[in-house]
Amino acid sequence: MIDITAPFSYEQRDRFTFTESEKNIVKRLEKLFKNGSGINVIYGNRGVGKTTLKNYAKHEVLADNQVIVIDVPQYIEDTEFYSYILENLIIQMAVKKEKIIEVYRYPSCHEMQLNLDKKIELNQYELYRKIEDIKLQLPLSVEEISPALKKEINIYNSKLNGLRKKIDSLFKTKLWKNRENDYEKEKIQRKIEKYFEKTLELKKWYQYERYLYNLLELQLIFDATVISDKKIEQHISDEQEKKFDQDSVIQVGITSSIVNTNISSRQSETTLLKSGVNYIGSSTITHNLTFQSKKKKLTNILKDLQNNLNIRINICIDELDKCSTTEVNDLINRNKAFFLESGLTTFLIMNLGNGITFKEIYSDYITSFILCKNLSIYEFLVKSANQDKAIYSDFFNLLNGYCSIQGNNRNLLVKDMTERSYESSESIVFIYLWQSNFYQKLPEDYQELFSIFFNIMIEHLKLLGELDKSDFKALVLEFKTRYSIASVKLDLLFKQFETSFFNNNLKQSYFFSELWMNSYSKISEKLRFTSAQGVDFYSALENYFNDLVVKSQLLSVKDSKLILNYLSNFEIEEKFERFLELYGATINDFMNLFKEFSGMKNNYGLRRNVRGQIRYSNQTTYNGIDDAMTTIDRWRNEIIGVVFFYPKDREKNTLVNGIIYRYNNFGEIICIPYVGYIGLHSHKPYRIKEYKQFLSMKNVKFVEIEDLNEDIFQSAYKKSEQSEEEIIKNICIEYNYLNRWLELIPADY
C-alpha cells in the first residue's frame, strides 16, 4: 500500500503535480545543487512540501554525474554528523566511479566522435608529440589502485608503445608521402584520437579511485581513537581530570587520553573491501589527532575533490523543526569553517517560525533564504482535483474547502475537509483579512505567518463568539510562544494589526487582481468592459466581499469586542448570484474563469519539454466513460488528448477502446487506458457520443484510429490465455502504437 502522506519519491510520481510556484522553487534548488555555495535556509509552514520539493530537485540533478546530494535526516551530534557525511560520500562516489567505468567501457556514439587533423601531410615528430601528450594523461603511479584499472593502464601503455613503433616503421619506408599510405595515415590518426579520449576516461577513473581511497582511509581515522580537542592544564586535579574525560566521551564521542593507533595494511584492506572498493597494499596509518584535526582533514579533502573533479557536493539537513533556532545557530558556529571553507553547499530545512527568526537574527552566515509557501486558492483548485479530493464547480464550496485545510499540502492529503469544515461566513472573513492593505503589504513570509494567526483567531471567534482586547493580546502571546518567534518587528506588526482591527480601520486592497491581469478567457474579456451602476466588474467584486463583512456585520466591533456573526450559506450564495447577474455572468462563468487561470483549461506547450518517455500509468485502468470523464477533469491541466481505437474481441465483436494521454511533471507521457466490452453500459453508442461531446466542451483534442491490423489481435488471442484487456495493452506497446498515435493528436497551441 502506498503511503500517500510521505514526501515525494520517484516511484510515486504519477500522483504528484507541481504548481508553477513549486516548479520555480525546484528550479532554484536545482541551480543551487549544481552551482550553489555557502549555507542556504529552506523554510515554510509544516506540511507545505519542503522535503518533497527538495527531493524532486534532487532527483532531477542526480542524473548529472557531477552532483552529489547527501541527506542528513535530522540534527545529530557532531561526531556522528561528520561520520555520516563521510560514509554517504563514499557510497555516492563509488556509484559515480562505476558510471565512469561504464562510459569508458561502452562509450556512446556522441562521445566517440573523433577530430581528425585536416592536414594533408603529418610530421613524424607531431605524431610523437601527440603520443607523449596522451601518455601524460595516464596515471604515473599504479600503486594502491584496483587490479582492473591497473590492467587497463598497462594495456594502453602497451598500445601507445606499439603505435609509436608502427609510426617508426612507416617513416623508415620513406614512403610516408606516397598516396598509397593515406589509409595508414588516417588509421594512425584515428587511433591517436581514440586513445586520447580513452586515456582521459582512464584518468577520471584513476582520480575517482584515488579520492575513494583517501576517503576510506579518512573513514578509518574517524573511527579510531583520538586525543581530546581541549587542553588539560597541569594544575587540574585528578577528580577534575576524570570528570573532564567522562564529559568528553559523552559530548564529543572521543576519549581524552593520547593514543597512537596503528592500522595495519591487512585491516585497511579488509575495511576497503567491505566498502566495495578493492585496494591492496595500504600503508600503515599512524595518527595522533584531535577531533578538530579530523574535521580539518575532511574539509581539505572535500575542497580538493570538488576543485579537481569538478563535482558539486551538497548536504541537506532536514527536520530542524525539532530544534530551537539557538541550537541550529550553535551548529553553524561550531562548524562554520567546515561549511564555508570546504566548498560544500549546505541546506538547512526548518519551519516557518525558525526561518523567520533566522532571517531576522541569525543571518550572518546564511547565503540565501528559500520560502516554501502554502498553496494559493488557484493552486488548491488544481491540487484538490489531482489528489482526487474534489473537482469544484461552486465558488463557495471551493473557498470553504481551501480555508478548511489552510491551503496546506499535507492537510490536503491527510485531512477530511468536513472534519474542520468552514462556513461561508467564516471563509469570507478570511478573504476580508487577506484583502486588507495590512496583509497585502507584508513580506511573503510574514503573510504566511499572519495567515496562520488569522486561522487561529477565527477558530477562537467561532468557538467563543467574541474577543476583547485582553483576549486578543493573550492569543498573540500564545501564538508567538508556540512558534518561538520573538522580534521587535513582529511585536510592532501585531500592535498595528490590533489597532486597525479594533478601530474598524482595516482598509482593503485587491485580492483577485491576478485573476484579471493574467486571464485571456472570453468571460474575462467580456467582464473587462462591463459595468453596472457606474462601477466596473473588477472593482465591484473586490468591494462585494468587503461589503459582505462590513455592511452585513459578519465581523463587527462592539464595546471594544470583536464579534463574529453569521449569514446562512443560502443567503450568501443568493446575494452572489444576484451580483453576478448585474454583469451578465453566472457562477459557472466565474468558476470557468477560475479554472482557466488555475491552468485547468489549457495544455499549451505541454509537448515542448517531453523527453520522449512514454508508458502506461501506475494507476488502474479506468472502468468506464464516467471514470474517463473524471480522469479528464482531474488532470485537465496535464491532458494532451484522447485516442479511440476499435479492435475486435475473440468472438469478432467490435470493442471501443481509448487511451488518455497525460503529460506529467517529469517529462513523461502517461497513457491511461480504457478497454470496453460488449454489454458494458459505457460501451453503448450514446455513451461514447456523450463522451466525445464532453471532450469537445472541455477543449480536449481526440482522434479515432480505424486502420487496425485485426490479424495482430486475433493471432495474439490464440497465443495467450491472458485477458483481452492485457493483450490489447501489450500490443499497443509491442507495435509502438502508443508513440505513433500520440503524433496524430493535434497540438493545442
pLDDT, tens digit (0-9, with 9 covering 90-100), for 455-494: 999 989 888 888 899 999 999 999 999 888 888 899 999 9
Q: Output the pLDDT for position 282.
A: 42
Q: Output the pLDDT for position 262.
A: 32
Short-list 479, 484, 504, CA closest to 494 = 479
What proportion of the chain, given as a percentage, has pLDDT over 90? Answer: 33
Contacts 24+ apart (CB under 8 A), 507-510: 507/436, 507/437, 507/438, 508/432, 508/435, 508/436, 508/437, 508/542, 508/543, 508/546, 509/435, 509/436, 509/437, 509/439, 509/440, 509/441, 510/435, 510/440, 510/542
Q: Are 159 and 131 in contact (CB under 8 A)?
A: no
Q: Output the pLDDT for position 695.
A: 93
| Of the listed ranges 84-88, 211-215, 348-352, 510-514, the one predicted with least confidence | 510-514
Q: What is the mean pLDDT of the chain?
A: 81
CA atoms of 62 and 72, how far apart (whole Å): 17
Q: Residue 258 above 60 pLDDT?
A: no
What proportion of the chain, given as a percentage, has pLDDT over 70? Answer: 81
Q: Output the pLDDT for position 553.
A: 87
Instruction: Kindly report the length of the chain.
Output: 749
Summarised one tens digit per residue, pLDDT across range 387-422 is 888 889 899 999 999 998 888 988 888 766 556 678
Q: Output the pLDDT for position 464.
A: 87
**Up-side HSE of residue 243: CA atoms within 13 Å toward CB?**
5
Short-list 79, 14, 222, CA closest to 663 = 14
Label residue 741 by pLDDT band (50, 70, 90). very high
Short-list 353, 351, 334, 342, CA closest to 314 = 342
Q: Of the segments 301-305, 405-409, 745-749, which one has the largest average pLDDT value?
A: 301-305
| Of the listed ranges 280-294, 474-488, 512-526, 582-596, the one predicted with least confidence | 280-294
Q: Of the segments 91-95, 414-418, 531-535, which one has the largest average pLDDT value?
A: 91-95
- Unique residue bearing C-alpha cell 459595468: 531
Contacts 24+ apart (CB under 8 A), 506-509: 506/432, 506/433, 506/436, 506/437, 506/438, 507/436, 507/437, 507/438, 508/432, 508/435, 508/436, 508/437, 508/542, 508/543, 508/546, 509/435, 509/436, 509/437, 509/439, 509/440, 509/441
Short-list 65, 58, 665, CA closest to 318 = 58
Q: Output the pLDDT for position 548.
A: 87
| Of the listed ranges 240-249, 359-368, 584-593, the one predicted with least confidence | 240-249
- Write out 482-507 in H/E/C secondary structure: HCCCCCHHHHHHHHHHHHHHHCCCCC
CA atoms of 655 and 149, how far apart (whole Å): 59
Positive or negative CA dihedral for 117, 121, 123, 127?
positive
Q: Residue 243 above 70 pLDDT?
A: no
Q: Output the pLDDT for position 261.
A: 30
Q: Output the pLDDT for position 72.
A: 92
Ordered DSSP codes for 379-409: HHHHHHHHTTS----SHHHHHHHHHHHTT-H
Q: Output the pLDDT for position 65.
A: 78
Summarised one tens digit per residue, pLDDT across range 173-200 is 655 555 555 666 677 778 888 888 888 8
Summarised one tens digit per residue, pLDDT across range 261-292 is 333 333 343 344 344 444 433 444 445 578 88
CA atoms of 519 and 586, how far apart (whole Å): 17
Q: Output the pLDDT for position 386.
A: 86
Q: Output the pLDDT for position 315.
A: 96
Query: What does the CA dihedral 396, 400, 406, 408 come to, rounded to 10 degrees?
Result: -80
CA atoms of 527 and 533, how far apart (whole Å): 14
